[in-house]
């Protein structure tokens, strides 16, 4: 059975190939898979059937994509060691480890949070986001650790989704960045859109994109002649754009430590503590952790908040830095 999705092309500075635009925006499909769908005459642009992958699309073009609907039968339950912080009849709070993708997509069908969830809960998860993303209300990046809420039923899913849309969900992140952000405490408000240079990345834009708001507070700065200057920052999201914190901090000139996409490509230090250099080199992801998550419980009708401990790799860096903290 085919499923059709319809949407308007957005955040385009100029015309772009249809296959490239769809590959950037349909996360479950590779560009080659998109080409096959186009050649199978399953895509319309402004009600016109398209059979060429090189067809160009522009801002506000109406795109209709028909593709095979994926069901739970396509998903493989997988025993994955999940850190369940809280669970009741309506929802689950998971402290996601870094390196774990939230839901299946191109190149990873079996080793995701969703595979672990259907192993534990089978069909006892919401299905509003489709059978391929059971229970998933929101996401955090693969190499970001921390708290994520999962819905067990559609009533809970709808309520949580509405709270995300209304920005009433309270989300706090800890971020370890290069340098000292100025001012020490503040609010970053920009538009965020896809990068013109690399459609897999996001970027701050003056004209295009969606409004993104990140409140931040410097918790501690670290500096000495043995280590480069660094800061531990608390970020509170008002919006939840793709890679928002990573993009905003890089835009301020203080990228996350370990961020391979938005950070400094190669760090060179005139002088550095050799033990700390070894700790840094073994830290193979961005230093970002979803520390707390709070929301109004859809059934219990009260505000609940959850906190998570920093993972060991993040804590190892901070434990060393604490002797140089201000």
Task: List the catalytic residue out of 19, 141, 143, 313.
Answer: 141
Residue 71 host element (H or E): none
- List average pLDDT for each run of 10 residues in the chain, which is 326 residues long: 73 82 74 82 90 89 75 76 97 97 78 94 87 88 97 94 92 97 97 86 90 96 89 96 96 96 75 85 94 97 96 95 78
Q: Count the Cβ atoms, other than its own, within 10 Å of residue 61.
A: 18
Report which DSSP code applies to 309: P
pLDDT of amino acid 14: 79
Q: What is the DSSP string of 26-63?
A: -TTS-HHHHHHHHHTT-EEETTEEE--TT-EE-TT-EE
pLDDT of amino acid 246: 97
3 state DSSP class of 161 = helix
Q: Residue 12's beta-bridge partner residues?
A: none
Residue 164 host element (H or E): helix 154-165
pLDDT of amino acid 266: 63
State the Cα–Cα distance between residues 296 and 73, nearest whole angstrom.
33
pLDDT of amino acid 42: 86
Q: What is the DSSP string of 84-132?
A: EEEE-SSEEEEEEPTT-BSS-BTTBSSSBHHHHHHHHHTT-S--TT-TT
pLDDT of amino acid 301: 94
pLDDT of amino acid 238: 93
pLDDT of amino acid 106: 64
Q: Residue 45's beta-bridge partner residues?
A: 48, 63
Is 259 catalytic? The answer is no
pLDDT of amino acid 107: 66
State the Cα–Cα distance between residues 212 and 209, nearest whole angstrom.
9
Q: Which domains are delineated in the chain?
A: 2-68 (3.10.290.10), 72-165 (3.30.2350.10), 170-324 (3.30.2350.10)
Q: What is the DSSP string of 1-26?
A: -EEEEEEE--S-SS-EEHHHHHHHH-
């Amino acid at each position: 059975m085919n499923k059709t999705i319809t949407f308007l092309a957005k955040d385009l500075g100029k015309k772009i190939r249809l296959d490239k635009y769809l590959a950037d925006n349909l996360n479950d499909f590779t560009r080659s898979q998109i080409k096959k769908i186009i050649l199978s005459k399953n895509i319309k642009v402004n009600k016109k059937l398209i059979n060429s992958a090189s067809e160009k699309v522009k801002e506000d073009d109406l795109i209709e994509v028909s593709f095979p609907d994926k069901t739970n039968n396509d998903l493989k339950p997988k025993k994955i060691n999940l850190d369940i912080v809280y669970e009741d009849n309506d929802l689950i709070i998971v402290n996601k480890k870094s390196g774990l993708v939230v839901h299946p997509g191109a190149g990873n069908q079996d080793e995701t949070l969703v595979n672990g969830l259907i192993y534990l809960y089978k069909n006892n998860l919401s299905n509003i986001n489709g059978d391929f993303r059971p229970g998933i209300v929101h996401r955090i990046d693969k190499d970001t650790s921390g708290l994520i809420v999962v819905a067990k039923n559609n009533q809970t899913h709808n309520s949580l989704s509405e709270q995300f849309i209304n920005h009433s969900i309270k989300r706090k992140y800890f971020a370890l960045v290069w340098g000292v952000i100025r001012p020490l405490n503040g609010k970053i408000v920009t538009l965020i859109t896809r990068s013109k240079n690399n459609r897999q990345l996001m970027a701050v834009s003056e004209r295009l994109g969606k409004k993104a708001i990140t409140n931040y507070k410097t918790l501690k700065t670290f500096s000495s002649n043995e280590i480069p200057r660094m800061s531990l920052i608390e970020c509170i999201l008002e919006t939840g754009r793709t890679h928002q914190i990573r993009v905003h901090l890089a835009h301020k000139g203080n990228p996350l430590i370990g961020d391979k996409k938005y950070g400094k490509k190669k760090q060179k230090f005139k002088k550095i503590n050799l033990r700390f250099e070894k700790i840094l080199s073994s830290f193979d992801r961005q230093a970002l952790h979803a520390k707390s998550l709070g929301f109004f419980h859809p059934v219990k009708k009260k505000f609940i908040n959850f906190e998570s401990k920093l993972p060991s790799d993040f804590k190892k860096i901070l434990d060393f830095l604490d002797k140089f903290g201000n």
